Amino acid sequence: MGLCKVNRAKLMNKKQCEDVFKKLSDMWPNAKCELLHNNHFQLLIAVVLSAQATDKSVNKALDPLLIKFPQFSAFNLVEMGEEGFLQIIRSIGLAPTKARNCFKLSQILIDKYKGEIPLEREKLEALPGVGRKTANVILNVLCGLPTMAVDTHVERLSQRIGLVAQTKDRLKIEQDLLNIVPKKYAVKAHHLLIFHGRYHCIARNPKCELCPIEPLCFKVGLKH
């Protein structure tokens, strides 16, 4: 299926949205965060590293470290040093900046929180390299809160399907999704969209003919 410039103002109603997430939930029953981690700190570091990078590239870089140090912590990272951590993550995009942020946030966690990560949005977003999307992932995965982490897959699919209006404003996408996604799917919603976007409804040549939500999908931006 080819791409074209299509702009449709019409959006799904709540019943259609519920049907979409029911089908996505059936299709991806095991949708979850795919970043490797054994503790809260490792998840935070992995999410910071995943900015403008794939989960696959982050896992590939961190896997040897986590095998050697299963309980790798803020204390271990500070002991390793910024340069030492950089050597481990060098294959990931923006590695020098990310290594610097991870080292600094580790120091802050040790100084202010005894090495633990705070599970409050304001405190999370005050850490170097941690923005709203990262905080949303942490609060969702670790606390089970119905946050909506809008990454490239969520941004693309939510508009392609017809869940939200076309925009580049990820905060608006987040807010609009929170308003329309049924409560029973709210905690898992962004994982479902990520899995569907990562493995089925890809950016180019999505597998529409094999998609269970095809009859419901508005196919915004696609030839149909």
DSSP string, 136-161: HHHHHHHH--------HHHHHHHHHH
Residue-by-residue DSSP string for 49-60: HTTTS-HHHHHH
Instruction: Give the residue from 113, 128, 143 where a domain finishes.
Output: 143
Report the distance separating Cα 192 and Cα 111, nearest Å.
37
The residue range of the domain holding 48 is 40-143
Instruction: Give the residue from 128, 143, 158 where a domain finishes.
Output: 143
The rounded average pLDDT for each run of 10 residues, N- to C-terminus, in the chain (224 residues) is 49 96 98 98 98 97 98 98 98 98 98 98 98 98 98 97 97 97 97 98 94 96 76
**What is the residue whose two structure tokens read 């196919």?**
219
Is 201 annotated in a binding site? The answer is yes
Q: Are residues 95 and 179 in the same domain?
A: no
* pLDDT value, residue 9: 53
Q: Are residues 120 and 155 in the same domain?
A: no
* Annotation says 169 is catalytic: no
Domain CATH number, residue 87 = 1.10.340.30
Given 23, 55, 151, 176, the catalytic residue: 151
Is 102 annotated in a binding site? The answer is no
* pLDDT value, residue 223: 72
Residue 62 lies in a domain: yes
Given 23, 55, 98, 133, the catalytic residue: 133
- Total domain count, the chain: 2
Q: Within a 10 A sphere around the Cβ of 22, how many other Cβ atoms?
A: 15
Q: Are residues 180 and 204 in the same domain?
A: yes
Report the distance separating Cα 66 and Cα 219, nearest Å.
41
* pLDDT value, residue 8: 47
Residue 5 lies in a domain: no
Report the distance separating Cα 85 and Cα 55, nearest Å.
18
* pLDDT value, residue 4: 42
* pLDDT value, residue 119: 98
Report the distance separating Cα 65 and Cα 75, nearest Å.
14
Quote the distance between the C-alpha of residue 58 and its chain's center: 13
Q: Are residues 139 and 158 in the same domain?
A: no
Domain CATH number, residue 24 = 1.10.1670.10
Q: Are residues 23 and 67 in the same domain?
A: no
Residue 220 lies in a domain: no
Element (H, E) at 89: helix 82-89
* pLDDT value, residue 31: 98
Contacts of 209 (CB under 8 A, 6+ apart): none
Q: Are residues 78 and 136 in the same domain?
A: yes
Is 17 annotated in a binding site? The answer is no
Is 208 annotated in a binding site? The answer is yes
* pLDDT value, residue 117: 98
* Annotation says 133 is catalytic: yes
